[in-house]
Structure formats: structure tokens, C-alpha cells
Structure 1
Amino acid sequence: MTKVSLTHIGGPTVLIEFGGWRLLTDPTFDPPGRTYSFGWGTSSRKLTAPALDATALPAIDAVLLTHVHHGDNLDDAGRALLPTAGTIVTTLSGARTLPHPARGLRPGHSTRLEAPGRPPIDITATPCRHGPPLSRPIVGEVTGFSLTWPGQEHGPLWITGDTVYHRALRRAAAALRPGTVLLHLGGVGFPITGPLRYTMTARQAVRLHEAIKPRTVLPVHYEGWQHFRENRDGVERELAGRSSTLRESLRWLPRGVASDVSV
């Protein structure tokens, strides 16, 4: 069993520490107040500051970047941090567009992080669909990440990335059987696209949990921006009215404070 320290900095940004490794997901460190364009007439304003400033971070061994083209997953301060990271892992298209060397992965493909005196980490890209069917040409390429290393007792650590629930996601998750899930929630929506959702809702999270039954589910990326339609209170209200084992697995990470999780 591995004890992993997780610090939720805000949005999708989490510092993951174990075995001498320091990994950072989707770095977002801009101050609140700015409105970011997401293309095709959509935009959102950042409402909440990060719990930690980028200058307070330790040296980062790798950045796990689910996508490069949305400001709520990679903002200006996050981009400024990238050259200081030892390794960047992202999508194939993202790796081509970044001005820094990066490892680009397609779903199902893997890369390995290795360093003397540390456990090797195998990082496998998992499928994401950041919106309704056939929306990828509009919303762009997004990926999730499954992390495995020696000594895990409960299965891989899975970062879902910005995605709705869909068949390819369910199949990949069933094959992985993750024990711990960093689950991007929030039910993102925009006035211009009405009821369409671009990240997972609580109802979809229930379906995913029933399919794979992970030990621990840690929601991230569900508040702090104008475009989220389900914050923590909304998720909890939805789950309160449902008979689901997800409530037993769900654990809300405090912002800016390290929390230990057994993986």
C-alpha cells in the first residue's frame, strides 16, 4: 500500500506526492476576475483564487496536462510554470503546440517516469469526450491519466480529465479498475448551448461508480468558475436523493491542505 499526499489547489489543479515524486495536474494559478474565451461563442469568468500561489510549490517532477486549450485547465500562470517541470505529459495535439518539450499520448498508450530511488510510474492516457457526441472537432482533444506503480494495493490512481460519461470511458475504466479516482465534475454548461453539458454531472458520476466501484472518489474541478452548473452543494443534493454507493466512496478534499489517501 502507498500513502499518497494530495493537495487540491483549486479547479483541476492537484499536487500529488508519494515515494519522492511530486506531480501536478492541470496548473491554474491566475487570480480571479478574468473572463476566458473557450471558442465558438463560449466563455467563463474565474471566480476563486488558487489556494496556493505557484511560487509556494516545491520542485515539480511532472505536469499531467489533460488539455492545453482551455484557460480553466491551463492559464497564463500555469504556462509560466511549465518550463520548470521535469516532464510534461499531455495529448498528442497538445504536445505539438506547446513551446516546451512534452510527451504526447493517445488513449491507451503509456509512458514511464523513472528516477533513482523512486518507484517507476506508468502513465496511461484514458479517453475523454469533453461534451456531447460528435463535439470533439469543436471542443478539442482531451485526455485522462491512469497512474500505476509498484506497491499499489487498491488499483491505479485515475485522473478522469474533463469528460462526460460515455461508452469508451466506461470500457477504459472497467479495464483499469482504479482504486482511487480524481473525478472532474461540475456539469459545465454555457448559455449559448442550453442544456448540453461538457463535464460529468452527479448523475453521470453515479453511473460511472456503479460500473467500476472504486474505493475512493475525490471530486475536483466543480466550482470556482462561472460555467459550472453543479457545485459541491448541488452534487450532494443530487446524491442525497439517490440510492448509491457513491456517497460512501466520496471524499471532498480541502483546498490548500495536504490529505493522505491509501492507494
Structure 2
Amino acid sequence: MPLPRITLDPSSTLYPTRDHPHSHPHAHDLPKPLHVETHPKGKNTGTEDASIFFIGNATTVIEWEGVRIMTDPNFLHAGDHVHLGPGVTATRLQNPAVDLHDLPPIDMILLSHFHADHFDQDVEKSLRRTLPIISTPHAKECLEGSKEGKFEKVTALDHWESAIVDIQNSNAAFKITGMPGKHVPPGPAGLLKKINDFIGAVPPTNGWMVEFGAKPKTIEAETDGVDVGYRMYISGDTLLVNELYEIPKRFPNVDLMLVHLGGTTIPSPKLPLAMVTMDAEQGIKLIHLIDPEVAIPIHHGADGDEPPEYDAFLSSLDDFKAAVAKDEKLKDRVVYLKRGGKYSFKASK
């Protein structure tokens, strides 16, 4: 059976928000990056044709072949609060590198799960309803039933399900596959999961495998997707659970990995009963498991004198950096981006 297909038009000039309150004209491009990083071993230097712009938390913009895909849009400012479930809140401590209403045209959103630190209340209110979104089945229900108005083009992918994203007037395409992830630790006899199922504090989550490639040449090949030229894994908000060990069996040779860290704790930093995202130690282990050429940490805790993205993040980026520096297999494979920084890479064969 052919995979679900989404077509993106790189000539589109539609901005992602429904209203544009600023009087100044919107830029057609992202801001000039504060710094640009490339392959740490110098691979493909000077031939890069794709990039990732880091806005903050888990929000990035992937650019290739004239289209922009935004991940986990979160544009609250320092001091703003998010509601993460019954009795669970978090405060943002860092501003995004770009304001929501200053974004250039965005062609699609890749949403790992429907949680306010990944899809905040301003985003839910402001985004145009015809913006294509790929997310989880749970998020699709929430987006289509939003009290701010139905999102009209939501594609749901469960774990291991795939969709093809065609780029109009181009031979290029993405294949996007939902990767397993668990936002709630198993606990004794699955107790925490049972409690969460009852109170609904932490929603189901996906990681993503984003494969950059060429469109299939025949109808028969459509079930296989694209002729892969580059493979990027985005962990999403997950813990290092057994289901993740299947990923390298199905998807060897990962080129780039975005790993969500932070050691997020609930119900609050003052009462850290459970950790629901990877800390530095788990993040290192997952990088070893996936074995990408390059890894970039996002969604992380304190970095030097800078506070964490959210006050619920208790595992610092400093801890992760220290562990990488001691690891001979990783110390020349990890790239660090500040908010407003960009990583450029070659995605085409």
C-alpha cells in the first residue's frame, strides 16, 4: 500500500501565523545565525546544501531544497509558564532566538507530542490552520479538536509508521517515520504508567527518522519511499527504554542525531518524583546505541552561566559536555549550538 503523501510548495510565501501584529514587514529568511557549525571532521566542507537552525528548547527549523520544516514549536519567553498536566507546571527561563510572529514562511511542522513546552498556548492560538503537521495519533485528536480552531492538515504517524513529503517541482522528497519513545518511566509493575494513564499528565510521544532523498522512480517503489541520501534521527522526549534498541536494527548508518536531554522532572523541581526525559548519562548511552556521525544536543539544562530552557530541567548541558569530553568515541562527533546557531550539512547524494 502506498504511504501517505504530503506535498510542500517551496515557492509558498505564507507565514506560519494567522495574524501579524508587527508593523514592520516580515523577513523571508531566518535571522543571520549567531554562529555556523559544520561537520566536526570537515566532511563535505563547502558543499553543504541543508541546515538546522536552533531556536530553543526542542524548536528547530530544517531547511533543504527550498522548504522549511519546523520541529516542536515553542515560542514562550522567559518568565512564561506552561501547564504540563494536573498540578504540573514549568517556567521558561530562556527566550527563543526568533519570536513567533517574526518567523519566515514555514512549510510544515514535525511535532513529537502535544505538550505545552513543545506546542505552547500562543502557538496553538496563532498558527494558521492549514499548516501541514505530522505528529502522533493523540496529538492529531488534540489539534483537530483545538478550542482555538481545528487544524486542517494533520497527519498521524504511530511508531514505525511512515509518510512521504514531496517537494513540488523538485525530484527531492523526505520520508518521515515515527520512532518509539516513552515519556514516562516504567516504574515498579508499571505503576507510574498506570497513574499517568489515569490523570493524563504526560502524552504519548514520538521520535522521528527523517530521510532526505529522491522521489521513487516507479509506482511500485512508492511503498519504499525515497532513495535515501541522508538520515537524521530526532529522539523526541523519551527515556532510554528497551524499544529504542530496535532503531539501529531498522535504521543503520544515521548521519545526524538531535538528542533531547534536560532530565525533566515532574511534578516539579522541588518535588522531583520522576524523570521523564533523558539526563546526560542516558543521552550518552543513546548516542552510542544509534551511533550517528554527528550528534547535536537540544532541549537541555543549564549551560555554563546560562540557565536551563525550563526550570523543570535538572540535568545540565555542562554534565553532558563533561561526559563527551571523556569519551574517545564521541568527543569529535558532537556539535553544540547556541540559540540562534546553525548547523550546515550536505543532505543530497
Are 2:129 and 2:151, in contact at CA under 8 Å, matched by a contact in 1? no
Structure 2 residue corresponding to 1:236, chosen from 315, 321, 338? 321
Q: Which residue of 1 aligns with 2:166?
A: 114
Name the larger-Rg structure: 2
Distance 2:126 2:51 in 1: 21
Count of aligned residue pairs for this structure pair: 261
Matching residue's letter, 2:296: L
Contact 1:215 1:249 in 2 (8 A): yes
Q: Does 1:199 align with 2:283?
A: no
1:56 to 99, 102, 122: 102
Deviation at 1:173, TM superposition (A): 3.8
**2:13: which partner in 1?**
none
1:257 and 1:207, CA in 2 relative to 1: closer, same or farther beyond 3 A?
A: closer
Which of 312, 330, 337 lines up with 1:227 in the alignment? Answer: 312
Amino acid at match of 1:60: I
How many angstroms apart in 2 are the aligned matches of 1:107 and 1:192? 33
For structure 1, which runs of at least 5 residues remain unmatched after alignment?
none
Q: Distance in 2 between matches of 1:130 and 1:54?
A: 26
Assess, with a 3 A threshold, how the Cα gap between structure 1 residues 256 and 249 changes in structure 2: closer, same or farther.
same
Q: Which runs of 5+ in 2 are unaligned?
A: 1-43, 144-149, 215-226, 301-307
Q: Which amino acid aligns with 1:243?
A: D
Query: Of residues 67, 77, 84 in structure 1, which corresponds to 2:122?
Result: 77
After superposing the two structures, state which structure 1 stretch, 104-113 or 183-192, moved more. Answer: 183-192
Normalized per residue, the structure richer in helix is 1
Residue 81 of structure 1, CA deviation: 4.5
Aligned-pair Cα RMSD in Å: 2.2
Secondary structure of the equivalent of 2:167? coil
Residue deviations 1:184-222, cap 9 Å, x none? 111111347636321112211222222221001011111
Q: Give every structure 1 segment of 4 or more consecutive aligned residues whose post-TM-superposition deviation is greater than 4 Å.
A: 151-155
CA distance in 2, matches of 1:114, 1:96: 24
Q: Distance in 1 between matches of 2:61 and 2:130?
A: 13
Which residue identity is paired with 2:185?
P
Amino acid corresponding to residue 107 of structure 1 in structure 2? H
SS at match of 1:194: strand
Equivalent positions of 1:97-108 (< 5 A) are: 97-98=142-143, 99-101=150-152, 102-108=154-160
The question of 1:147 aligning with 2:199 is answered no
Do the aligned partners of 1:154 and 1:179 also contact (CA within 8 Å) in 2? no
CA drift of 1:12 comes to 0.4
SS in 1 for 2:263: coil
Output the CA distance in 2 between the equivalents of 1:85 and 1:179.
32
Alignment partner of 1:24 out of 61, 65, 70: 70
Query: Deviation digits for residues 34-60 of structure 1, max 9, x if unmatched?
Result: 222212432211111111112222211
- Tell me the alpha carbon deviations over residues 133-166 of structure 1, each in whole angstroms, 9 at most, x when there is no partner: 1436242211111111226887411111100111
What is the match of residue 31 of structure 2? Answer: none
- State the TM-score, normalized to the length of structure 1: 0.90
- Following superposition of structure 1 onto structure 2, how do residues 159-170 of structure 1 map, counting pairs within 5 Å? 159-170=234-245
SS where residue 204 of structure 2 aligns? coil
1:115 CA displacement: 2.9
Counterpart of 1:210 in structure 2 is 288
Contact 2:52 2:61 in 1 (8 A): yes
The alpha-carbon deviation at position 255 of structure 1 amounts to 1.4
Query: Equivalent of 1:124, from 168, 171, 177?
Result: 177
- Comparing 153-162 with 47-56, greater Cα deviation is found at 153-162
State the alpha-carbon separation in 1 of the partners of residues 229 and 163 from structure 2.
Answer: 21
Q: TM-score, normalised by structure 2?
A: 0.69
TM-superposed deviation, 1:111: 1.0
State yes or no: 1:4 paired with 2:50: yes
Query: 1:21–1:187: structure 2 CA closer, same or farther, 3 Å change rule?
Result: same
| CA distance 1:72–1:126, change in 2 (3 Å) | same
Instruction: Name the residue aligned to 2:219.
Output: none
Q: Quick one: distance in 2 between partners of 1:97 and 1:165? A: 26
Q: Is the 8 A contact 1:184 1:220 kept in 2?
A: yes
One-letter code of the match for 2:298? V
2:131 and 2:166 map into 1 onto residues whose CA distance is 11
**Structure 2 vs 1, CA of residues 84 and 262 (structure 1 numbering), >3 Å: closer, same or farther?**
farther
